[in-house]
Amino acid sequence: MITRRSLLLGAAAVPKSQWRMPGESAPHKRTWMAFGAHQNIWGARLIDEVQQNIALIAKTIAKFEPVTVLVEPSLTLPARRLLEGAVQLLVAPLDDLWARDTAPLFVLGPNHTKAALDLNFSAWGDKQSHYRDAEVARFVARKANAQLLQTELILEGGCIEVDGHGTAIIAESCVLNENRNPGISKADFEQAISPLLGLEKIIWLPGVKGRDLTDGQTGFYARFAAPGVVLAGDDPLAPITKQHLKILKAAKLEVIPLTAPRKPRDRFQSRHLAAGYTGFYLCNGAVIAQEFGDAKADKNALSTLEKTFPGRQVIPLNCDALAAGGGTVHCITQQEPA
């Protein structure tokens, strides 16, 4: 069990002002991804298409910045067929494809130093086999020649959204969940995570436990467009989003709502369908977004993204198989800052 003493001891090794996690909109050195979609998890109906979704996203991002894709050894042939020549491929043991949660969070320090924070991936509270994915953060840190930072906290990259200037948005439903950090208080969590990411303020959203595999990660609810500006999901079928909008506005943020699609394509309909527009990914010069076949909602969301990011090209992709498994473009990417 994580205790207050162990958390504070873990954080004490890192001076408060040493590290800072840049926002996703800051320049990237590269994007990290994982080609690890196995049929035993994704099923025969989705597996081929979800692998194609990974490749489509990777090749689209590669038009704007370098992309390194980790490849599960047993999936080398399809990965090469779909990606060879477009991105860098590195063979690595993988359980699945969620690079946002398994890869480390990169932070910058003084004198151009870079470190990689291992968040002790536990498959969202031991909900899936993850002994190989638990080693991804260390593997990526080595390949990136980044110092490895460790914490006793258990969480995922998708739990944390930062503006790069000391403010984070975090959902209580995932990080203060008994299946990750039993017995931890909000204050103890803040004291442990803040020195590692250079945080001065955390805005807490309640989130929803148990509704999805991740217990309501922050990335499904709110994303920073810039310091003080947030794009937030607004889903009529999820009343919690209205509460989140009120909290974000009360925090003196400019809040831009992204209304979820009401009539997404039904080819891969499932109770896990991640049909929302907050799952975009910011790479150098572009916004990689998802469209769902709801003409009105897609148009409104893409127009909002174009207005919010005037210096970037907004590229909508059909990633329905990925969405059917509860994922977004953001869920399978992790940025390494320049």
**Count of CB atoms situated within 10 Å of the CB of 67:** 24
Q: Are the CB atoms for 168 and 201 separated by under 8 Å? A: yes
Secondary structure E strands in 18-127: 28-35, 67-71, 88-91, 105-108, 114-118
List the catalytic residues.
331
For the record, the structure tokens of 278 come out as 């907050």
| Burial environment of residue 56 by CB neighbours within 10 A (0 to 12, 13 to 18, 19 or more) | middle
Residues 233 and 276: their CA atoms lie apart, in Å, by 7
Q: How many CA atoms lie within 13 A of 289 on its CB side?
A: 26
**Reading across the β-sheet that carries 222-226, which strands appear in turn?**
222-226, 229-234, 254-259
Strand 313-317, strand 334-337: pairing: unpaired
Q: Are the CB atoms for 202 and 194 separated by under 8 Å? A: yes
Q: If you search the block for the tokens 């003084």, which residue do you land on?
A: 110
Q: Which amino acid is at 92?
A: A
Residues 232 and 158: their CA atoms lie apart, in Å, by 15
Distance of alpha carbon 137 from the chain centroid: 14
Q: Are the CB atoms for 170 and 217 separated by under 8 Å? A: no
Q: Which amino acid is at 56?
A: L
Distance of alpha carbon 81 from the chain centroid: 26
With H, G, I as helix, E, B as strand and everything else as coil, classify residue 274.
Answer: coil
For the record, the structure tokens of 94 come out as 């993988």
Q: Which amino acid is at 276?
A: G
Distance of alpha carbon 317 from the chain centroid: 17
